[in-house]
A and B are shown apart, each in its own frame.
Chain A
Amino acid sequence: MIQQTLADGLVLGGIYALSAVGFSLIFGVLHVINLSHGILVLIGAYLALTFSRMLQIDPLLTVPLVMAVLFVIGYAYQRFLIQYAVDRSRLGSMLLTFGVALMLQNIMIWVFSPDMKNITPSYAFVSFHIAGLTFDAVRVSALAASLVLLGCLAALLKYSPLGRVIRATAQQTLAARLCGVNVRHVYALTFAVSAAFAGAAGIVIGIILPFSPADESMWTLNAFVVVVLGGIGSPAGALIGGLLLGLASTLTAQYIGPAFPNVTMFMLLVLMLLVRPNGLLGNAFSASR
C-alpha cells in the first residue's frame, strides 16, 4: 500500500510541478504575483480540447500549437498591460492580474460555457501494472509530458541566449540594462514563456481531471504552494516543490483522511515559509525581498 501511495504521489507531483513553473518564473524574474496564472492554465486546457477535436489528434500532440498561442497571448499581456503596473508596486501589479483573471474567467464562461469539460484521449481507461503497482496510462503520460517539458525549460534557461538574458535581467536588472538588454522586451518574453508553459500544464491537467472556468483559483493557489515549497524561479525548484506537494497530499489522503490533503498542503506552506522562506532550493535569481 505504501509503495502505491508513494508512486501515486510522485505522479501527481510531476503534474503539479509543471502547472507551477510558469508562475515561478514570473515571480522570480518580474517579482509579480500572477493571479491570472490559473486562467492561463485553463486557457491551455480549453485550447487543447478545441484543437484535438478539430484536428482529430491526440491531445498531447497539440502541445506545440497551444504553447505558441499562449506565447503570443503572454507577450502581449505583459507588454501592453502588466508593464504599466510592474514598476509601481508589488500589490498594484498583483491586483491588476486579479482584475484580468476575473475578466477572463467571465469571458471563458461566455465562450466555453460554465460546464465541466474533459479531454478523453484514446488511452484514457488503460492501466498497467509494474511490480505490483497499478498506474493509469493517462497519469503516467501526463507525468512524462511534464518531465519532458520541465527539462526543456531548464535547458532553455541554462543554455539558450534567451535564457541567459532572462537570468541576467532577473539578477541585476540595472546592469543588464546597461549592457544593452531591452528589459521590457525580456520581461515580455519571460511572461510569454511562462504563459506557454502554463498552457502546456493545462493540457496535461485537462487529460487527467475534468475542468471548468471556476477552477482557475485552485491552480493559482497550487502554484503558490509549489513555488514556496520548492523555491522561486527555477524548474528544479518547481519540480521539488511539486513532488513534495504530490507526496504530501497522497500520504495525507491515505493515512490521515481523504478530506485532509488541502490542510496538509497549506500547513506545509506556512511551515516552509517560517523555516525557509526561500524554499528548499532558494531563489534561483536573487535574494528575496
Chain B
Amino acid sequence: MRRRDVLTGAAAAAIAGSARALPAKTLVFGGSVPLTGAAAETGLNVNNGYITAVSYLNELLGGVEIAGEKYRIELKLFDDASDPARATTLIQRQIDDGTDFFLGSFGSNIVLPTAAITERAGKPMVQTGGGADAIFTRGFKYVFGMYPRATRQFVAAAALFKSLQPAPRTYSVIFTNDAFSKAAADGVKLSCNEAGFKLLDTFELPQKPTDVSGVLSSVRAKTPDILVCVMHDQDSLLIARQMIATGTNVKLLFQGLGPQLASFREALGKYADDLMCSTYWDETVPYKDKFFGDSKQFTQYYRSKFTRPIAYHTAGAAACILTYVLAMQQAKSIEPRAVRDALAAADFETFYSRIKFTPQGDGDALLLGGMIGQVEKGKLETVFPVEARTASALYPARAWDVKA
C-alpha cells in the first residue's frame, strides 16, 4: 500500500500547488531517504512525515511567510538504498543544483559522509536518522540532529528506573551489533551505572539475530531485575516472542524500540502489557505550534492523507521542516548561513516537542531525549517524564503466564 501512499501524498501536494494562487517563490529541501533496503520501514515513515508537513504548509496555509515573502515548499528526495557511495554522489548533485537546505537520511554511516559534504558547502542539514556520537564530535557547524547523540539517549530511562518502587538493583543489556545499537548500549551502561544499578551481563547479538534461545537460557540462569534491549524493532519482537515462549521472566523488560509500534503490540497481544520502551512522541504530547496547532491536529491531517499507522519518526520528520521554517522566520532570511545561526540558537516549540540543540548540534538530552512509554491494557501510556505522563509506571511487571 506504500506506493499508493507516496503517490497520494505527492498528488495532494501537486493539487495544492495548482488549486491556490500559490506564491511564485519556492523553497527547496533536498536530501535522501532509504526507501529500499534494511532501513526502508523507517525511511517510509520519515518520508511520510516530510510529505505531511510540506503539503499542509502549502495546501492549508498557502505557503510560508519569511521576511515578508511567501514561499512554496518543495521536496527533492531520492532513495539512497543505504549505500554511502550513492548517497554522497547524489547529495552532491543537489548541492550543484543549488539546493540550500538538507534533510537527513537514516543510519550514521550514511548521514556522516553526506553531512561532511553539506557542511563543506555551508548548507545546513537537520536530520532524524544519525545518532552516532561521531557526527557530533567532528566540529560540524551546519548539522543538527533531532535526537540526542546515541550515548545520551538513556538518561531519561535511568532516571525513571531510579524512581521505581521496590527499587530495582540489577540490570542486563542485550544489543545487536550495529553502530546505533552499540553506541546506545554504551549509553545504557553509562547512565545506569551512574544511577547506581549493577550490571549483571552484556549480550552482544549479531546484526540480524535469528535465534536467541541461548541468550535467554543465560538470562534465566542469572536473572536481572531489569532487562534492557537496544536494537531495531523486529529484533525486539523476536526476543519478546522467545521470552514468552520459553517463560523467561524479568521484573521489567525495557525495549528501546518496538512496543511503541502498533504492529508490535498487535503481534504480542496481551503479552505486550507492562513492556516499557522509549518513545519520542505520541499524539498526547502537550506541545503547541502555530502551524498544526497541536499533535492531535497533526495526526488528524496525517490520517486524511495516509492509511499507514503513524510513528514517532513521522512526527519527528515533520518537525524537521517546521524547525527549518521557524529558524528562517527568526533569521528573517533564507540565506543558509543566517538560517544555520538561527538553528544553533533555536529554542522553538513545535507540536512535536520543544526544539533546542546542544552546541555540537545534537538534540538537547532532556528536551529531545524522549519519554518513556509503557503498555498498559493494550495501550501505550507515557509514564515519564512526570509532566507529560498519562499513567504511572507499573513495576514489577507480571509474569508472562499471569498475563495469558
Which residues of A pack against B, CB within 8 Å? 1, 4-5, 8, 12, 105-106, 109-110, 113-118, 120, 124-127, 134, 136-139, 209-210, 212-215, 218, 249-250, 253-254, 257-262
Contacts and interface: CB of A to CB of B under 8 A. Distances in A.
Which of B233, B245, B247 has most A Cβ within 10 Å? B245
Contact of B214 (A118, A215, A250): A250
B205 interface: yes
A258 B217 CA distance: 12
A101 to B, nearest CB: 12
Contacts of B2: 109-110, 113-114
Given A12-B210, A109-B35, A114 B177 contact: no
Interface string B217-229: 1100100000000
Contacts of A134: 246-247
Contact of B247 (A5, A127, A209): A127
Contact of A261 (B206, B221, B238, B269): B206
B8 to A, nearest CB: 14
Contacts of A218: 208
Nearest to A252: B214
Contacts of A253: 211-212, 214-215
Interface residues of B, number: 44
B213 A214 contact: no
Contact of B237 (A137, A139, A210, A214): A210
A114 B245 contact: no
A260 B214 contact: no
CB-based closest 7 A-B pairs: A136-B245, A114-B40, A116-B234, A259-B204, A254-B214, A253-B214, A110-B3
B246 A136 contact: yes
B44 A118 contact: no
Nearest to B216: A134
B44 A214 contact: no
Chain B CB count within 10 A is highest, among A125, A137, A249, A260, for A125
Q: Which residue among A1, A105, A210 has the maximum number of chain B CB atoms within 10 Å of its CB?
A: A210
A259 B1 CA distance: 35
A124 B241 contact: yes
B402 interface: no
Given A213-B40, A254-B214, A258-B206, 15 more contacts: A5-B213, A113-B41, A114-B44, A115-B41, A115-B44, A116-B234, A138-B245, A212-B234, A214-B37, A257-B204, A258-B203, A258-B204, A258-B205, A258-B209, A261-B206
Contacts of B267: 118, 120, 210
B211 A259 contact: no
A246 to B, nearest CB: 8
9 contacts: A12-B211, A114-B35, A114-B44, A116-B263, A120-B269, A136-B242, A138-B245, A212-B234, A260-B206
Interface in B78-95: none
Contacts of B40: 109, 114, 212-214
B24 interface: no
A10 to B, nearest CB: 12
A250 B242 CA distance: 14
B266 to A, nearest CB: 8
A99 B372 CA distance: 44
B241 A258 contact: no
A115 B212 CA distance: 22
Contact of A249 (B38, B208, B211): B211
Interface in B41-87: 41, 43-44
B205 A114 contact: no
Which residue among A126, A209, A254, A257 has the maximum number of chain B CB atoms within 10 Å of its CB?
A209
B36 to A, nearest CB: 6
A127 B246 contact: yes
A18 B393 CA distance: 44
B211 A8 contact: yes
B4 to A, nearest CB: 9
A69 to B, nearest CB: 21
Nearest to A125: B244
A124 B404 CA distance: 12
B177 A8 contact: no
A210 B215 CA distance: 18
Given A115-B41, A136-B246, A218-B208, A209 B271 contact: no
A280 to B, nearest CB: 22
Nearest to B42: A114
B379 interface: no
A278 to B, nearest CB: 27
B238 A125 contact: no
B211 A114 contact: no
Interface in B312-365: none
Contacts of B237: 116, 118, 210
Interface in B96-151: none
In this complex, which of A12, A105, A113, A114 has the most chain B Cβ atoms within 10 angstroms of its Cβ?
A114
A125 B38 contact: no
Most chain A CB inside 10 Å of its own CB: which residue of B36, B208, B211 = B211
B292 interface: no
B400 interface: yes
B169 interface: no
A262 B245 CA distance: 24
B303 interface: no
Contacts of B217: 1, 4-5, 254
A66 to B, nearest CB: 20
Nearest to A137: B245
Nearest to A263: B206
B400 A209 contact: no
A127 B212 contact: no
